[in-house]
Amino acid sequence: MGTVAEATRAAGGRVVGIIPQALVDKEVANRACDELLVVDTMHERKALMGERAGAFLALPGGIGTFEELFEIWTWRQLGYHDKPIGLLNVAGYYDGLLAFMAHSVREGLMSSWQMDLIRSGDTLEPLLEALVEESRRRPSDDRLADVV
């Protein structure tokens, strides 16, 4: 996350960090954020991220990334939000996960419309363009269109 924040700032973007106090106490907060919001719990962090974000993009990551991706995807399929979700599949990192999700559809444990709620791509620029375009079609929230 720090590398993405640094690259965003270097490109002239604005960085908002949302972090629970327990991680601040461990000295992992990025103090270079334009806005740093400290919350009590991870649940509050995700809720605030869900509220403030115009779209969601999961990069290759570990268990925290998986958990956040699945929660925000679940929220979308339940209708809690209608914001674009992207999965950046760098060097095939998510090939196995995407295959497993397609397997879940084939087995009847998930519907194809649920799969359609996530866009994936192996190159950042076209994926971002797709997320921005989807965000622009959403009349209720144009924050992403304003940022990019």
Which helix (H) or strand (E) segment holds residue 118: the answer is strand 118-121
User: Based on the domain organization, do 71 and 4 belong to the same domain?
Assistant: no
Taking the whole predicted model, whether its pTM rises above 0.75 is answered as yes
Q: What percent of the chain has pLDDT over 70?
A: 93
Q: List all residues 6 or more positions away from 34 whose beta carbon is below 8 Å from its beta carbon.
A: 9, 14, 15, 16
Whether residue 68 is found in the same domain as residue 107: yes
Task: Identify whether residues 92 and 131 lie together within a single domain.
Answer: yes
Higher per-residue pLDDT: 128 or 28 = 128
What pLDDT, in 10s, does the model give residues 31-82?
A: 788 998 999 999 999 999 999 999 999 999 999 999 999 999 999 999 999 9
pLDDT at residue 145 is higher than 60: no
Asked whether residue 101 is assigned to any structural domain, the reply reads yes
Q: Is 145 within the bounds of a domain?
A: no
Range of the domain at 98: 53-137
Q: Is residue 144 part of a domain?
A: no
Domain presence at residue 142: no
Could you report the per-residue pLDDT of 86-110, keeping only the tens digit for each? 999 999 999 999 999 999 999 999 9
What are the DSSP calls for 10-52, one per residue? HTT---EEEEEHHHHHTT---TT-SEEEEESSHHHHHHHHHHH
Number of separate domains in the chain: 2
**In percent, how much of the chain has pLDDT > 90?**
74
